[in-house]
A and B are shown apart, each in its own frame.
Chain A
Amino acid sequence: MIKKYRQVDGVLLGAIIALLLIGLLMSYSSSAVKGYLYFDDPYHYLKMEVVWVFLGLAAMTVALLLDLRKLYKWAKPILYVAIILLIIVKIPGLGRTVNGATRWIGLGPLSIQPSEVIKLAMVLIMARILATNPRNIQSFHKGLLPCLALLGIICMLIMLQPDLGTTLVIAATTFFMLIAAGAKIWHMTALGTAGLAMVVGAIVAAPYRMRRIFAFLDPWADPSGKGYQSIQSLLALGPGGLFGLGFGQSRQKFLYLPENHTDFIFAMIGEEFGFIGATLVVMLFFLIIWRGFRIAINVSDNFLGLFAVGLTSLIGIQAMVNMGVVTGVLPVTGITLPFLSYGGTSLVFTMIGVGLLLNISRYRSKTEEVI
């Protein structure tokens, strides 16, 4: 593997810091009412979030300094650990159930979401598999099938929780990595169709997903029930208008919009800072994706390139799905907005992801190698 050569990507780091700051600002504004009601302290969630941001920055720094060659070697053990965590979460007494889904493992005061671990582990192992035998990917049996089998197992484990949002993010990220690695487009199209059929199957299997989908198609049909979250989210965006109501002026945060500081933080941004503010956030994510793909294209090592594609796709897809839910173009899936949503493990693992991306940005690029 090639040597480290350059400074970290400053634009990427800047965009990350900007999003973190917006996240802190919004985590206060959006959770002040909840904090006051439940903890008698409007700053409760802000204090927690500050701690998490520092933990996240520390995790990012560690990831930034990590020797990526070791990570290449550890890809398999890390995957096994992630899979074990996914199984542990289903063991009664160890997993914590919130809103009908068992997604957390309690560790004293902390809790870990195995689905966050598996996201990174999956990107890592896929980058390794695809980089080891680059030509295999052209073949369906040797290249695609093993990757898909692995993806299938992982997705099944996540769906046990159940967590449709994370499953979709992992599946889409894997597909992006396969395309980047050079998989044939007609293979991918066929698989995409099959995947869609499976998603439809998963939805039909669990009635609550069915209801969520219907709510998404016409939230106004059941405004106080199934369509409630979607509508309350749109009721936040609408009054925000072009310039927003101003910082701290959100009306929807008065407990009308559930999960307003986590999954629906983007609606809060749209309400308080308007179309301008929301667009700024979209642009920052776009910036991250652009720099991520640039890093992937520039790095001369296949494994690092694919790893960068995976890490970037994780953030990009998750951001897109979350913002799509808030703006009503996608059904409610219950995943967080990277950097902005209040939430400990989610933030820490996102920060590890971008730390790794920044780490890759320091490696020598192809063009420089030529010179």
Chain B
Amino acid sequence: MTGGIRKIALIMVFSFVFLSLGLVYWQVVNADTMLENPANRRTILLEKRIIRGGIYDVNGVALAETRIDGTSKERVYPQGETFQPLLGYASLEYGSAGLEAALAENLLGLNDNSLVREVQDSFDLERRGNDVILTIDSRLQKTAYDGLKGKAGAVVAIDPRNGDVLALVSQPSFDANTLEKDWEAILNKAGSPLLNHAFSHFPPGSIMKVITSAALFRAGQDMTDIYNCEGSTIINGQIIQDGQAHGWVNYDLALAYSCNTYFAVHGIDAGQDIFLQAVSGFGFGREIPFELYVPPSSITKDESLPANLEINLFAESTFGQGQVMISPFHIALITAGIANKGEIMTPHLIDRVINTKQNIIYESQPELWLTALSTDEAEKIKSGMILAVNEGTASPGALPEIQVAAKTGSAEPGGNKTTHAWFIAFAPADDPQIAVAVLVEHGGSGGGAAAPIAKAVIEKALERKVGDS
């Protein structure tokens, strides 16, 4: 009998080892991934017990609130579609998305991990979460929304001095007040209303030239050197075309007229090492430190920056075609960086978080993210962007009494579709207070479709500043 018992003891030992490996796997190897897992329904289920805090704009205008009527709770979004999909939703049925998901810890008051709170959590069934005040100005948001309504695309406005996001519009959008009723319709609507287009990837087109400029300067390109644009040039057997021959141009004029051949020829001269270093300095291939996830911008189909660029692809990249992909949000940040003397501030959506006792438990602070350009380089690009407004392609973005610096882009999405219209701008040029990026998907030319929206947002923002003082 002893022999038999030894056999089963062996089976037992083997099973125990197997079991222990399971424990090691989940508790030691894989521990961190568990908390982040989207199947972790904890926060959503907490909705039943905790009254979600409100979300307000920088002036205290309610963007999302939980209204209590007797025993029933209702999450309302007073601004309707204007703030979607930025705000997102928190639905027991469909999960959560947008800021409602990203700020759940704050809104549900879970980020206070004191023992006292843990005990309260166990037994205090009706608890109120924290209120979140955003950096967004609902008046600017409304202006941007009105401009983009009915189209597809995104508008992002940032205060270049501190990284505060002033407006973030994505179209098409939806009304979260009727989310559960309209779910199927929202899902099936063209243009993906649930997707935030400000965080989606698009080819930048000529907007890229402000980035390529940095490479040109670093390779010793003199702004006053002139170049004869003949309307097209051949690089390694590939024809690079401009819409028209721009004639003799210096740097300012090349940017103002958006001359492809100038940037391709001089970009190739600068070399891929300097070019890739410059785009890396602007944040390509990096995750943007932000309250919401923004996919890293890329030069090739790889998420990380390539070690080597094939020469034809490199030439196309200099003016934002080829495989270059960037989000409207990142472009707005780059614009803000140029406006802020080359320093890109870490973007913020949260201004502050206030608990139920009206104490501020979190307040965002201005922080430097990247030094993309030297002051001198930023000034040079700015002068080109000013010329673009005063004499070049960006003239539809000009304002009567305020000097705007801007750049247009008409990016080819491929497949003979109408180009994406881009417009980036900041103002006032000598003391920038707002940087804007506008994308109108398949909108045609940047100056035609996107510039008026940027102009309206800038006008609104600066009119408010005048009114405040």
Contact = CB atoms under 8 A, between A and B. Distances in A.
Contact of B16 (A242, A254, A296, A320): A320
A237 B122 contact: no
Nearest to A243: B27
B433 to A, nearest CB: 44
A185 B118 CA distance: 55
Given A293-B9, A316-B12, A320-B15, A182 B1 contact: yes
Contacts of B16: 282, 285-286, 320
A239 B34 contact: yes
B391 to A, nearest CB: 58
A329 B39 contact: no
A293 B34 CA distance: 38
Interface string B37-51: 111111001100000
A324 B22 contact: yes
B36 to A, nearest CB: 10
Contact of B4 (A179, A220, A251, A256): A179
A224 B122 contact: no
Contacts of B15: 320
A235 B39 contact: yes
Contacts of A293: 5, 8-9, 12
A32 B41 contact: no
A358 B253 CA distance: 95
B360 interface: no
Interface SS of A by simple majority: helix
B23 interface: yes
Given A238-B35, A256-B41, A327 B2 contact: no
A233 to B, nearest CB: 9
B358 interface: no
B23 A279 contact: yes
Contact of A241 (B2, B12, B28, B41): B28
Interface stretch (A74-82, A86-94, A270-278, A335-343): A270-278
B224 interface: no
Contacts of A240: 27, 31
Interface in A204-255: 220, 223-224, 227, 231-232, 234-235, 237-242, 248-249, 251-252, 254-255
A241 B4 contact: no
Contacts of A255: 45
A252 B46 CA distance: 11
Contacts of B12: 289, 293, 316, 320
A275 B22 contact: no
Nearest to A234: B26
B22 to A, nearest CB: 4
A237 B12 CA distance: 23
A118 interface: no
A48 B271 CA distance: 77
Contact of B41 (A179, A224, A279, A289): A224
B24 interface: yes
B293 interface: no
Contacts of B23: 237, 270, 275, 278-279, 282, 327
B33 interface: yes
A305 interface: yes
Contacts of A181: 1, 4
Contacts of B11: 176
A39 interface: no
B2 A328 contact: no
Interface in A173-203: 176, 179-183, 185
A306 B42 contact: no
Interface residues of A, number: 57
A240 B3 CA distance: 40
Contacts, number: 132
B27 A270 contact: yes
B18 interface: yes
B188 interface: no
A33 interface: yes
A348 B436 CA distance: 71
Interface in A309-333: 309, 313, 316, 320, 323-324, 327-329
Nearest to B42: A256
A159 interface: no
A293 B31 CA distance: 35
Contact of B8 (A275, A282, A313, A328): A313
A296 B3 CA distance: 12
Contacts of B32: 238
Contact of B22 (A249, A302, A309, A328): A328
A41 B415 CA distance: 67
A42 interface: yes
A297 interface: yes
A316 B18 CA distance: 14
A329 B23 CA distance: 9
Contact of B27 (A176, A227, A237, A252): A237
B31 A239 contact: yes
A274 B27 CA distance: 7
A140 interface: no
A183 B3 CA distance: 11
Contacts of A5: none
Contacts of A182: 1, 3-4
A32 B122 contact: yes
Contact of A180 (B4, B39, B122): B4
B83 to A, nearest CB: 28
A241 B24 CA distance: 9
B27 A238 contact: yes
Contact of B122 (A36, A183, A290): A36
A222 to B, nearest CB: 10
A328 B30 CA distance: 13
Given A235-B39, A256-B42, A282 B19 contact: yes
B8 A179 contact: yes
A302 B1 CA distance: 8
A279 B20 contact: yes
A290 B8 CA distance: 11
A241 B28 CA distance: 6
Nearest to B7: A179
Contacts of B39: 220, 223-224, 227, 231, 235
B19 A320 contact: yes
Nearest to B49: A254
A220 to B, nearest CB: 6
Contacts of A305: 1, 5
A161 to B, nearest CB: 26
Q: What 6 A-B pairs are tightest by C-beta distance, nearest first? A: A238-B34, A223-B39, A327-B22, A180-B4, A275-B27, A329-B22
Given A231-B39, A297-B2, A305-B5, 12 more contacts: A32-B122, A176-B8, A180-B4, A180-B7, A182-B3, A232-B41, A239-B34, A241-B31, A242-B28, A248-B118, A320-B15, A320-B19
5 contacts: A239-B31, A241-B28, A275-B27, A305-B5, A328-B26
Interface of B: 1-5, 7-9, 11-12, 15-16, 18-20, 22-28, 30-35, 37-42, 45-46, 118, 121-123
